[in-house]
Amino acid sequence: MSVIAILGAGTLGGTLAHLVASHDLCREVRLIDDAGDVAAGKALDILQAGGIERFGTAVVGDSGASAAVGADVVVLTGPATTPDAEWNAGDGLDRLRQVAAFGRGALVICAGAGQRRLVERGVSEAGFDRGRLIGSSPEALRGALRAIVALEVGCEASEVALSVLGAPPGHVVVPWSQATVAGMSLEAGLAPARQRRLHERAAALWPPGPYALAAAAGRVIASHATGSSRRMSCFVNVDGEFGVRKQVLAAPVRLDASGVAHIVEPQLNVRERSQLEAACTG
C-alpha cells in the first residue's frame, strides 16, 4: 500500500497517523486538515518519533481534501480546531463528496464513533459503492467486549471470539449464543448470573475513546492492506443481508483489496433476531 490519507488532525486523526506510521503499513501517511499548520506540526512530531521507534513511513501534513488524491485508503476523523470532536453527518458529507470526485477507487473509512449516519449518507447521497465506504468504530466496541469477557472468565482476550451487530449506542446486538472462549461456547460455560453481568457491562462501553477508535481503524486498514481474511465488525450498508434493505448497521465483514468482500451473517437465536429487528426500526 502506498498512501493513507487521514482527513482531520484532531486527537483521533493524530493518534491514527502515529499508529499507522509506526506499523509501516504504507509508504506515506498524509495528515490533512484545514488547519494545515496543526497537521504539519503533528506530522513532524510523528516523523521525529520514527527515529526513536524505528519506523520508516513518511508522514506529511497538508490542508484541503485534494491532498488525498491518489490515496489507497482515506480515513475521516475530526477537525484540529475541536480536537475531541468528529466530523458530523453534515461537514463529513461535504468531505465525502470531495473524496468522491477524485478518489472513488479508494477504501474510505469513517473512524468516529458517531459516524454511522455519515456512512449512510455517503452511500445514499454521495454515491459511494457500499463496499468502498465503511465505519470502523464497531471493531473498537468488539475489542472492549472481548476484554470484559476475558476478565470475567479469566483468559486472554485473544481467546475470545464474538461479533457486534446493530446500531450503537441504542441498539447494540451481541450474538452471545455464538460467542466462544478457546473454541468453547461462552454461554454453556458461564452461569446465568455472570451472563447478566456481562450484558449490563456491555451497555456501558459506548462510545469508545480515541485510542480504541484509532486501534480499530488501524486494524481495519491492516486487514485491507494485507488481504487478511479475518473478520472485522464495521458499519456497512446492508442490502439484503439479514433480510434488511439499504440500511447501515454494524456487522461482521471480510475485506479484500477492493473493500468489503463479504458481509458475514452469524446465526441468531430468537431473542437476538428480535434485537436486530429493533435496531433496524429504532
pLDDT in tens, 128-163: 999 999 999 999 999 999 999 998 888 999 999 999
Beta-bridged to residue 184, according to DSSP, are 181
DSSP secondary structure letter of residue 282? -
Q: What CATH number does the domain containing 18 carry?
A: 3.40.50.720
Domain assignment of residue 100, yes or no: yes
pTM of the model: 0.93
Burial of residue 152 (CB within 10 Å: 0-12, 13-18, 19+) is middle
Tell me phi and psi for residue 131, to 5 degrees.
Answer: -80, -10
DSSP secondary structure letter of residue 131? T
Q: Map residue 268 onto helix, strand or coil.
A: coil
What string of H, E and C letters represents the secondary structure of 150-195?
A: HHHHCCCHHHEECCCEEECCCEEECCHHHCEECCEEHHHHCCHHHH
Domain assignment of residue 193, yes or no: no
Query: How many domains does the structure of the chain reveal?
Result: 1
Q: How far is CA 5 from the centre of its chain?
A: 15
* Cα 186 to Cα 165, 197, 208, 231, 250, distances in angstroms: 18, 13, 24, 19, 21
Domain assignment of residue 232, yes or no: no
Domain of residue 8 covers 3-136
pLDDT tens-digit map of 175-234 = 988 999 998 898 887 788 887 888 778 778 889 999 999 999 999 999 988 877 788 999
Domain assignment of residue 12, yes or no: yes
